[in-house]
Amino acid sequence: MKKFLFFLSLTILTGLLAQVASSSFHQSNNDSEAENIQQAILKLDHELNDLLDQVVAGKSDISSLRGSWDKHGIGLAIYQHYQLASWSTNAIPFRTQYNQRQQIENGIVRLKNNWYLCRSVEVEGEVLAAYALLRTSYGFENRYIQNQWSPYINCSTHFDLTKTDHKDYEIQLTDGASDAGIRILETAESNSEFSWLSLAWLLFLALVLLTIWHASNWVSEISSALFGNICFVLLMVLLRTLMVWWELPNAIYSLELFDPTQHATSALIPSLGDLILHLIALLIIVIRFGDREWNVKPKQLRQFIHYALPIVLIAPLAYLIRILVINSSFSLDLNSPFSLNNFSLFGLIASFLGLLIHHLILQWTDHTSKKDGVATRLSWILAGGLILFLIVGMENWLISLSATILIGALTIAQAWLKTKGGLYGHAPSILAYSALACIMLIDATTENEHENRLSIAQKLDRKQNPITEFLFEDLASDIEQSRKLRIALTPGNLDAQKTLAALNELLTYDHWNSYEHHIDVFNNEGGLLVSDREQTGLNFFELQSVYDIATPTITEKLRYVSGWSAQGGYLARLKLSNPRNDQSLFLFITLIPEKTDDILGFTDLFVDEEYSTAKELEGYSYALYQNNELQDSKGNFAYGLTDKAYDGITNDTYCFNQDGYSHLVVKPQQGRLVVLSKPEDGLLSYLTTFSYLFLFYLACSLIMAIITGRLKGFSDERHSFRNRINLAMSSVSFVSLILIGLLTVIYVIREYDSRNEEMISEKSQSVLIELEHKLQNKDSFEDEDKPMLAALMVKFSKVFFTDINLYHMDGHLLATSRPRLFDEGLMATVMDPVAYEEMRFGQRSAFIHEETVGNLKYLTAYVPFRNDKREVIAFMSLPYFARQYGLQQEIFALLATLTNIYVFLILISVVVALFISNRITEPLRFIRESLKNLKLDQTNREIDWQSNDEIGELVKEYNRTLNELVRSAELLARSERESAWREMAKQVAHEIKNPLTPMKLSIQMLQRSKNDGAEDLNERIERTTKTLIEQIDTLSNIATEFSSFAQMPKSNIERVDLKKLLESAAELHRNSEATVSLNIEVTDSSFAQADREQMLRVFTNLIKNGVQATPDDVQPEITLGLIRKGSNWIASVKDNGSGIPEELREKIFVPNFTTKSSGMGLGLAMVKNIVETCNGKIWFESEVGKGTVFYISLPAD
């Protein structure tokens, strides 16, 4: 009760403090972060001013600042005559020119989509402008582009910069300007800053658990253990229900671990964090119930619980792993280690908790184990496997079979594994659970991959392009706001050519040049005004009908039409309003994808991650068939030109393996067929997954053992010779494989880099030849050449499957095939300064340079562009991300394969090292066991060792020493026996002399009285006779006690109920002078293997000793007790006597030793002999003045 009240008070206090801290945290944290931003910006302001001072003073130049962007996020631009002349980086979208009316703006400025701090100074006609990145703010986010603060400003993403009136905090610069401010976004709160607050709430939850635990203990004390455990379960369920329903505590539920987008199964399991908390709660419940011994009846129920139930419980374990895979957005595919993330780690932890719960239940059910026959065990194991098969179904037969074999084996081997103990005793369990988890994980991963592949195949059939649909919003906005288009569509002065030119300019921009487009403009009455079709196309009402029945997309203005081509197409409808009148025009745009490879690379930079298609198709090949002919195909697998290979397939969906690939065939409609393929998973995938799981579960088990202090068997023997050999060989194998793996990886990466540079160099020369052929008559490029150059860039980018940029001799951009890269502010419209210096001033014929956009690193090849006069008039660059992305995927695939192989080899090497070390130390272990079992009172065998090696020499010495020891033991035993009998004879003689002396004196006195004729002779004869009889009885007792000790009868070991035996002993002393009571904590029978009569004698002797040890003025009270502890019964005999002094305790079981005035002191020696004959132990605890408790431990039967 005291512990319960203590923890309850501590819990309430912790909860109140945490709640107060939570209430005041958000505002104070916002103030603190805003102040941090202010101080960081001021620091950057000082650095920019110092930088400009150093440049002006000549201490630094622009070439020395080229690394400042990577180190500090700072860039410098120099303007001459209002034109950008020099720059330290092209990562900042500098203004290329300015005029007197539009000066370089100082302070916090926005360039394109990013916020910068700018400081400028004019020196001798030049303007020096230094910029420091503050925050990126694009309209999209993906793995390359992140909207976040500069890494040099440590701040969370829920703060933004603004120049509007909606400011939550003002920003003061060094010059006193405060036109910009900080705005708190109303979007999601950051959850990384709440670490200490989350820790406080986790402490609160731990205290709640302790309170519930002790509350249940208190209920158990006042009622029963079963009722207390039921209350514990109900309170735990109530706690988790309240937490899930109200999402409390908020500081914990704001963590990403509780984000439903990462995992959600149902209202009961809304997040991965909730699933882990559920498992922890269940683990605690199992631990609590596992502390109790359960006596299960009838026999059939006991056998079912012990042998069948652990196998049946694999079903919820399989369900756990399945929902972790199916209902999660993170990957648990261990064959692709580079696809794993932090959530994958927590997913594996959840699986470990599930396995740990099952393992504890397996050990808990082992308490019900009895000595059943082999046939009985196998029958129940097979019954459990059959039940599991019925639960998981035919498609999961491998899970049922493996669980029946592995868990069945563990069930039978539980007793043996417990004797091993430590790490080696748990290794088979970890191996078995790892194998089971491997099968279940691969099964769930395969099912999830099949569902995802089916979804991808359906998307491929529709051929909808998420990137197109995402980007169309921007395109529609540009069309509606186009000034050129409004002028061309002026009522009464409509110009069809200018209308088409304005629209074509937008529809050939960047991503849209991969579509063939048609334009139709109608008035509000349906009359055709403008069309680019050579022949009459569909009229307004026909286009409207197609639009109405087409598939909607994420924007209402664009719809997908599946029947326009093998790749499908899009139909857009825009309503263009005329500000001069109320009349509206309707613009229909038909978009048909050209039959070219999708342009990878920079397209993924401009869209949100969820709309990217490149990652979705990683590792897949696909083919689209229309009317039996191949229309489109991608990937490494070579498909046939016709679909004859799939003629035998009648199902709408069918999956099969062929040519090392797994193929999914989908027939969405008559005449269409989609085949989506991936490399087939072989035996290596099982071995790899098993290796990862085994190593992970082993690490988790070691951590659990360290935390709980149960690293028994390993920590105790960590300095043993065998463990040192194991550690040495495993370490050598591990380090060797790691080094080989690292060297292999380095070699592979270098080879790929070399191959990459070689390919980009060849491609740049190919593109250069074509461009020079087209433009060889040019002496220079002017502004009027830019449209023509842009068209050529787009054309050749499709031909050579790469992006192309063309720069002027001053380093400024002339034309590009990817204008959006510069329009979004991802890169300045100037060359990389290092490349520009190498090409312009270093006169390089080619230069390959690594560049960066966001988090994306790629190679760019630069070559000089010459005209027919061999004059360099421009520089061409090929940013090689398109192919480099594919090469990176190949590298990742190879590295993943190497990693998987090396993990498996590491596991094998460790196992082999353990096997070899065990073989090496086996002779030593055998000798150790022989020495351990060496007993002088038994016959010991010599070790038979055939090899004449170092171990053989050691064995010879052992055998020689053993023979000498046997001879010495015989001599010692003979000497001890003779000495013991001499001592015993002295003791017996002494004990016999004691009664003989008074007998002799009495007879002499009687003889003297007769000779003297004493008058009271008869009375003296009577007294003498009485004395002689008493002394003769004493001699008889001495003889009986000696005979009992010397000639103990042979024990009759049988199954004895200790509870009834104690009740019988108490009944024998019911009418004695002592009060004998029972305190037996056993409700059912308590059987052990012992001799009934001798054990009754033991308890009787202990009761008698207890009575005799009680002072005369104290009423003797004897308490007989019985409890179950583990696999043993503990019986106790407690008295309220005077206790045993400390100096006498070591001799209490020694024969001849006694503290009484009579007797030979053989009683407790006889008791110990009887108990040890029954494989038991006896010991005592005594406190002088309060009494003694004798304990007897016997193995339970």
pLDDT in tens, 356-393: 999 988 887 765 455 677 788 889 889 999 999 999 88
At residue 193, the pLDDT reads: 45
Among residues 395, 396, 606, 415, which one has the least CA distance to residue 512?
606
Residue pointed to by tokens 């298609």: 613
Q: At a CB cut-off of 8 Å and minimum separation 6, what does 592 contact?
A: 515, 516, 517, 518, 564, 565, 567, 569
At residue 1159, the pLDDT reads: 42
What is the identity of the amino acid at 673? L
pLDDT tier at 922, thresholds 50, 70, 90 = confident
Percentage, residues of the chain above pLDDT 90: 22
At residue 8, the pLDDT reads: 87
- Whether 78 has a pLDDT exceeding 60, the answer reads yes
Q: What b/e sequence results for 1120-1132 when a residue is b if at least 16 CB atoms lie within 10 Å of its CB, and e otherwise?
A: bbbebeeeebbbb
At residue 1161, the pLDDT reads: 44
User: pTM of the prediction?
Assistant: 0.72
Mean pLDDT computed over 88-107: 83
Q: At a CB cut-off of 8 Å and minimum separation 6, what does 743 contact?
A: none
At residue 189, the pLDDT reads: 45
Radius of gyration, alpha carbons of the chain: 46
At residue 994, the pLDDT reads: 63
Q: Are 353 and 283 in contact (CB under 8 A)?
A: yes
Q: Of 665 and 989, which is predicted with more confidence? A: 665
Beta strands in 594-738 (DSSP E): 621-626, 629-634, 653-658, 661-666, 672-679
- CA 696 to CA 698: how far, in whole Å? 5
Q: State the CB neighbour count (10 A cutoff) for residue 833.
A: 22
pLDDT tier at 599, thresholds 50, 70, 90 = very low
Between 253-262, 448-457, 1036-1045, the lowest mean confidence (pLDDT) is in 1036-1045
Mean pLDDT computed over 600-607: 61
24-39 pLDDT, tens digit per residue, is 665 566 777 888 888 8
Mean pLDDT computed over 747-766: 85
Tokens of 211: 């309170």
Which DSSP helix (H) or strand (E) runs through 522? strand 515-522
pLDDT tier at 810, thresholds 50, 70, 90 = very high
Q: At a CB cut-off of 8 Å and minimum separation 6, what does 826 contact?
A: 145, 605, 853, 854
Q: At a CB cut-off of 8 Å and minimum separation 6, what does 310 contact?
A: 358, 361, 362, 365, 384, 407, 410, 411
End-to-end Cα separation, the chain, in angstroms: 36
Residue pointed to by tokens 């995992």: 263
Which DSSP helix (H) or strand (E) runs through 299? helix 299-303
- What order do you get walking across the sheet with 621-626 strand by strand? 629-634, 621-626, 672-679, 661-666, 653-658
pLDDT tier at 751, thresholds 50, 70, 90 = confident
Angle between helices 1163-1173 and 1017-1046 (to 10 degrees): 30
At residue 390, the pLDDT reads: 92
At residue 1139, the pLDDT reads: 86
Residue pointed to by tokens 């509000």: 524
- CA 752 to CA 765: how far, in whole Å? 20
At residue 807, the pLDDT reads: 95
Q: Are 873 and 779 in contact (CB under 8 A)?
A: yes
At residue 925, the pLDDT reads: 74
DSSP 700-764: HHHHHHHHHT--TTTSTTTTSHHHHHHHHHHHHHHHHHHHHHHHHHHHHHHHHHHHHHHHHHHHH
Mean pLDDT computed over 822-840: 92
Alpha carbons within 13 angstroms on the beta-carbon side of residue 1020 total 17
- CA 277 to CA 1193: how far, in whole Å? 41
Q: State the CB neighbour count (10 A cutoff) for residue 933.
A: 10
Among residues 142, 191, 153, 145, which one has the least CA distance to residue 44?
153
pLDDT tier at 1160, thresholds 50, 70, 90 = very low
Angle between helices 225-246 and 195-222 (to 10 degrees): 150
At residue 860, the pLDDT reads: 93
- Whether 938 has a pLDDT exceeding 70, the answer reads no
Alpha carbons within 13 angstroms on the beta-carbon side of residue 630 total 15
Q: Of 463 and 664, which is predicted with more confidence? A: 664
3-state secondary structure 358-408: HHHHHHHHHHHCCCCCHHHHHHHHHHHHHHHHHHHCHHHHHHHHHHHHHHH
- CA 801 to CA 884: how far, in whole Å? 11
CA distances to 12, 150, 266, 390, 833 from 71, in Å: 49, 11, 47, 62, 16
- CA 829 to CA 812: how far, in whole Å? 6
At residue 212, the pLDDT reads: 92
At residue 319, the pLDDT reads: 95
- Is beta strand 83-87 parallel, antiparallel or unpaired with respect to 1187-1195? unpaired
- When the pLDDT of each residue in the chain is averaged and rounded to a whole number, the result is 82
Q: State the CB neighbour count (10 A cutoff) for residue 570.
A: 25
3-state secondary structure 854-872: CCEEEEEEEEEEECCCCCE
Tokens of 713: 């068997």
Handedness of CA 1002, 1006, 1012, 1018 (dihedral sign): positive
At residue 211, the pLDDT reads: 92
- CA 836 to CA 809: how far, in whole Å? 9
At residue 601, the pLDDT reads: 46
Residue pointed to by tokens 């090497």: 909
Long-range contacts of 1099-1104 (CB under 8 A, 24+ apart): 1099/1061, 1099/1062, 1099/1065, 1099/1131, 1099/1133, 1100/1065, 1100/1068, 1100/1069, 1101/1163, 1101/1164, 1101/1166, 1101/1167, 1102/1133, 1102/1167, 1102/1190, 1103/1065, 1103/1069, 1103/1074, 1103/1076, 1103/1133, 1104/1163
Q: State the CB neighbour count (10 A cutoff) for residue 440.
A: 26
Between 181-195, 615-629, 935-949, 1156-1170, the lowest mean confidence (pLDDT) is in 181-195
Mean pLDDT computed over 530-540: 80
The β-bridge partners of 128 are: 78, 121
What is the identity of the amino acid at 1108? Q
Between 271-280, 553-562, 586-595, 963-972, the lowest mean confidence (pLDDT) is in 963-972
Between 301-315, 678-692, 974-988, the lowest mean confidence (pLDDT) is in 974-988
- CA 880 to CA 760: how far, in whole Å? 7
Among residues 133, 362, 127, 345, which one has the least CA distance to residue 257?
345
Alpha carbons within 13 angstroms on the beta-carbon side of residue 486 total 10
Between 550-559, 561-570, 734-743, 1149-1158, the lowest mean confidence (pLDDT) is in 1149-1158
Q: Is the peptide bond before 491 cis (omega within 30 degrees of 0)?
A: no
3-state secondary structure 332-366: CCCCCHHHCCHHHHHHHHHHHHHHHHHHHHHHHHH
Mean pLDDT computed over 528-557: 86
Residue pointed to by tokens 């039959």: 595
Q: At a CB cut-off of 8 Å and minimum separation 6, what does 308 contact?
A: 380, 381, 383, 384, 387
1008-1033 pLDDT, tens digit per residue, is 877 877 777 788 788 778 777 877 87
Q: Are 117 and 101 in contact (CB under 8 A)?
A: no
Q: At a CB cut-off of 8 Å and minimum separation 6, what does 1186 contact?
A: 1136, 1139
Q: At a CB cut-off of 8 Å and minimum separation 6, what does 1021 contact?
A: 1006
Mean pLDDT computed over 1073-1089: 80
- Whether 605 has a pLDDT exceeding 90, the answer reads no
Which DSSP helix (H) or strand (E) runs through 591? strand 584-593
Mean pLDDT computed over 413-435: 72
- Whether 201 has a pLDDT exceeding 50, the answer reads yes
- Whether 1157 has a pLDDT exceeding 80, the answer reads no
- Whether 865 has a pLDDT exceeding 90, the answer reads yes
Alpha carbons within 13 angstroms on the beta-carbon side of residue 83 total 6
Q: At a CB cut-off of 8 Å and minimum separation 6, what does 360 contact?
A: 283, 286, 287, 290
Q: Is the peptide bond before 249 cis (omega within 30 degrees of 0)?
A: yes
- Whether 441 has a pLDDT exceeding 60, the answer reads yes
pLDDT tier at 284, thresholds 50, 70, 90 = very high
**Mapping DSSP to helix (H, G, I), strand (E, B) and coil, where does residue 577 land?**
strand
- Whether 477 has a pLDDT exceeding 50, the answer reads yes
At residue 889, the pLDDT reads: 65
**Ordered domains of the chain (ranges, CATH):** 35-184 (no CATH), 194-292 (no CATH), 296-459+684-716 (no CATH), 466-612 (3.30.450), 613-681 (3.40.1840), 752-880 (3.30.450.20), 950-1042 (no CATH), 1050-1195 (3.30.565.10)
- CA 770 to CA 632: how far, in whole Å? 28
- How many whole angstroms from its chain centre is CA 655? 32
